[in-house]
Amino acid sequence: MTSSKGSIVKISGPAVVASGMREAGIYHRVLVGSLGLPGEVIRIEGDRATIQVYEETTGLSLGEEVVNFGEPLMAELGPGLISSIFDGIQRPLALLLREQGDFISRGLLVSSLSRTLRWNFIPAVKPGEGVIPGDVVGTVQETDRVLHRIMVPPGISGKIREIRPGNFTVEETIAVLEDGFEIKLMQRWPVRMPRPFKNRLLPKLPFITGQRIFDMVFPVAMGGTAIVPGGFGTGKTVAEQSLAKYARADVIIYIGCGERGNEMTGVLEEFPELRDPQTGRPLMERTILVINTSNMPVAAREASIFTGITIAEYYRDMGCQVALMADSTSRWAEALREISSRLEEMPGEEGYPTYLATRLSHYYERGGRVVCLGKEERSGSVTIVSAISPPGGDFSEPVSQSSMRIAGGVWALDSDLAHRRHFPAINWRMSYSLYTDLLDPWFQENVAPDWPRLRAWLMEMLQKEDDLLEVAQLVGVDALQDEQRVVLEISRLIREEYLRQSSFSEVDACCPLQKQVWMLRILCRLNDFLGESLKKGNPLDGLFHHPLLLEAARMKEHPPEDFDAFGRSFLSRIDAELKKGAVSG
């Protein structure tokens, strides 16, 4: 496999320059020094190659050997990925913990997938059948939740000469084509190269999260992209973990990119204990973790994003709906900045490389809902939700601005809301979704015909509240007209009881779409109820203490199973109160 060898002539942090590397190519994988530190080529000038090393380079000496493998960094794709925890270059951390303890030796290279574990393969084609790239030749039950489809690799086609069922390791041959090509349970794919597909589909299906402010107010399409920018302590990690737990996705990939070690420790301890609310089984049975903490090598942090998205594309090609959570792309961009400075490149804004937006685009465009390769008609998707950690919560910094120009949804977190214990701390003034018009027909057909009207009413009430609060700061709330105070009261219920959602509540942590609609219908009808009651001469203070309003403030804790009946009953009681004329407080 080795194509060339060179020697170190310069060391600058994680960047190493080696001579004698004329046969090396961009992004070729190399081993550096006597310890065999893994790295990849990022620049070539003559016979000199600049290498970013995925390990700490302390102790390297000039003249030490550099071995070029002649291929880029490859991800191993096959059964055994689900439930695994990898580092940024797909080394299995659980295996390293057992073999190395808490501290991993430098230069340690291990297989990403187990070479001893056997999987029961069930063929789906017969000898003599023709296959093309993406065709499913058989299946493996990877977990109770995930049926792993073994596919013909991209670029390979022909007729099946031999195929057999049985228990195999990922390296054993399960089928042979007439030209002699051997199909195995495992594929290898360059992490920086997008996997091919037939064509891209329009984003017309929603990515359902169970969070009211995301599903109702700022929806994102399945296969879409959303960013979650927010300062320290605004709840980015909790929001992404809630999405990982409750979002409707077949496979969850969580990338911890450059976050603090204690935060990632919490993730590693919590995720194996979480239960999938859809099945009651462990959540890890559909989850893959890619972890690269802030004290791990910066170059591996830059690679971790591509490792995660490559695994996501692999499950997408099976026809799975994949949700990828990256926390956070700011740390990834900081790794780019550090590597760029080592290369002595011309810095852009705030020291980031001038190609920051291009690299972000390459990452986000690998999301999407697509028609998969193969004769069988199937579609899959990769939905990307990326947290961004702007310094000081300043959304004008380059990573936030570049991401906003690319992503279809922005869920902006607000430190003021977080300090008031309002979670998710989404700022509805700064957030937006470009998918709303595309998704409205689906919501109208599958959930409720009045879905767009209810969302428009909610946003109108919040806007009215903003305008009235500016006046109230000058003259006081008591100086406002009764109709204006009604707007403030209903808007308060919208903010505190509808948009706020507790991830620790067994009932309210996940809110089904039908419950979201009925809750908003109730609030909208209560607004009409207060307005009509005022016209009949009822005192406002008595109306604000009416039992219906007090019950509405507690309705999110009502179980979703019978919420349709609860909602109809609630609306009937509002109508009955109005028919009485004088409303009892």
Summarize pLDDT for 511-533 with one digit per residue, the tens. Answer: 999 999 999 999 999 999 999 98
Q: What is the mean pLDDT of residues 537-551?
A: 87
Q: What is the mean pLDDT of residues 539-556?
A: 89
Distance CA 142, CA 324 (A): 19
Strands 173-177 and 187-190: unpaired
Q: What is the mean pLDDT of residues 332-358?
A: 90
- Token readout for 87 is 């580092």
Checking if the pLDDT of 279 tops 80, the result is no
- Token readout for 234 is 């605004």
> Span 4-72: which CATH code?
2.40.30.20
> Span 451-579: which CATH code?
1.10.1140.10
28 pairs with which residues across the strands? 72
Q: Are 37 and 66 in contact (CB under 8 A)?
A: no
- Scan for tokens 């496999």, then name that residue: 1
pLDDT class of 582 with cuts at 50, 70, 90: low
Q: Which fold has domain 199-435?
A: Rossmann fold (3.40.50)
Distance CA 577, CA 583 (A): 6
Checking if the pLDDT of 3 tops 70, the result is no
182 pairs with which residues across the strands? 176
Of all residues in the chain, the percent with pLDDT exceeding 70 is: 98
Checking if the pLDDT of 104 tops 80, the result is no
Upstream peptide bond of 7 is cis (omega within 30 degrees of 0): no
Distance CA 437, CA 219 (A): 10
The helix or strand, by DSSP H or E, that contains position 400, with its residue range, turns out to be: helix 398-404
CA-to-CA separations, 435 to 93, 150, 190, 481, in angstroms, rounded: 38, 33, 31, 37
Distance CA 342, CA 350 (A): 16
- Token readout for 157 is 């086609």
- Which amino acid is present at 337? R
- Scan for tokens 């027909």, then name that residue: 441
Summarize pLDDT for 120-129 with one digit per residue, the tens. Answer: 999 999 999 9
Instruction: Say what the pLDDT of residue 309 is.
Output: 96
pLDDT class of 475 with cuts at 50, 70, 90: confident
Q: Are 156 and 188 in contact (CB under 8 A)?
A: no
Instruction: Say what the pLDDT of residue 367 is.
Output: 95
Instruction: Say what the pLDDT of residue 178 is.
Output: 95
Residues in Cβ contact with 46 at an 8 Å cutoff, skipping those fewer than 6 apart? 22
Closest by CA to 258, choosing from 237, 279, 273, 277, is 237
Q: Is the pTM of this model over 0.85?
A: yes
Q: What is the mean pLDDT of residues 54-64?
A: 90
> Mean pLDDT over all residues of the chain?
91
Positive or negative, the Cα torsion across 572, 577, 579, 580?
Answer: positive
Checking if the pLDDT of 491 tops 60, the result is yes
Helix H, strand E, coil C: the string for 41-69 is EEEEECCEEEEEECCCCCCCCCCCEEEEE
Checking if the pLDDT of 266 tops 80, the result is no
Checking if the pLDDT of 584 tops 60, the result is no
Checking if the pLDDT of 269 tops 80, the result is no
Instruction: Say what the pLDDT of residue 583 is.
Output: 54
Question: Crossing angle for the helix pair 236-246 and 261-270, nearest 10 degrees?
Answer: 20
3-state secondary structure of 104: coil
Of 28-32, 208-212, 505-509, the one with minimum mean pLDDT is 505-509
Q: What is the mean pLDDT of residues 172-193?
A: 95
Instruction: Say what the pLDDT of residue 184 is.
Output: 96
Q: Are 328 and 111 in contact (CB under 8 A)?
A: no
Question: Crossing angle for the helix pair 513-535 and 451-475, nearest 10 degrees?
Answer: 50
CATH number of this structure's domain 114-185, picked from the four choices 2.60.40.1170, 1.10.443.10, 2.40.50.100, 2.60.40.1120: 2.40.50.100
Of all residues in the chain, the percent with pLDDT exceeding 90 is: 68
Q: Could you give the count of Cα atoms lying within 13 Å of 550 in the half-sphere of its Cβ?
A: 6
- Which amino acid is present at 151? M
Checking if the pLDDT of 102 tops 90, the result is no
Q: What is the mean pLDDT of residues 216-234?
A: 94
Q: What is the mean pLDDT of residues 407-434?
A: 93
Counting beta carbons within 10 angstroms of the beta carbon of residue 535, is it exposed (0 to 12), middle (13 to 18) or buried (19 or more)? exposed
Q: Are 136 and 374 in contact (CB under 8 A)?
A: yes
- Token readout for 472 is 């109230």
Q: Could you give the count of Cα atoms lying within 13 Å of 585 in the half-sphere of its Cβ?
A: 12
The helix or strand, by DSSP H or E, that contains position 246, with its residue range, turns out to be: helix 236-246
Domain ranges of the chain: 4-72, 114-185, 199-435, 451-579
Instruction: Say what the pLDDT of residue 479 is.
Output: 85
Instruction: Say what the pLDDT of residue 581 is.
Output: 61
Positive or negative, the Cα torsion across 272, 276, 277, 279?
Answer: negative
Buried b / exposed e over 271-287, threshold 16 CB at 10 Å, is: beeeebeeeeebbbebb
Q: What is the mean pLDDT of residues 260-280?
A: 73
Please give the residue that has the higher pLDDT: either 548 or 245: 548
pLDDT class of 198 with cuts at 50, 70, 90: very high
Instruction: Say what the pLDDT of residue 460 is.
Output: 96
Distance CA 242, CA 267 (A): 12
From the CB of residue 12, how many other CB atoms can be counted at a distance below 10 Å? Answer: 13
Distance CA 301, CA 331 (A): 8
Q: What is the mean pLDDT of residues 500-516?
A: 91
pLDDT class of 554 with cuts at 50, 70, 90: very high
Checking if the pLDDT of 236 tops 60, the result is yes
- Which amino acid is present at 330? S
255 pairs with which residues across the strands? 290, 326
pLDDT class of 207 with cuts at 50, 70, 90: very high
Instruction: Say what the pLDDT of residue 485 is.
Output: 92
141 pairs with which residues across the strands? 147
Checking if the pLDDT of 497 tops 80, the result is yes
Question: Crossing angle for the helix pair 356-364 and 329-342, nearest 10 degrees?
Answer: 140
Strands 287-292 and 85-86: parallel
Q: What is the mean pLDDT of residues 445-460?
A: 97
Distance CA 235, CA 242 (A): 10
Checking if the pLDDT of 164 tops 60, the result is yes
Closest by CA to 29, choosing from 11, 14, 51, 12, is 51
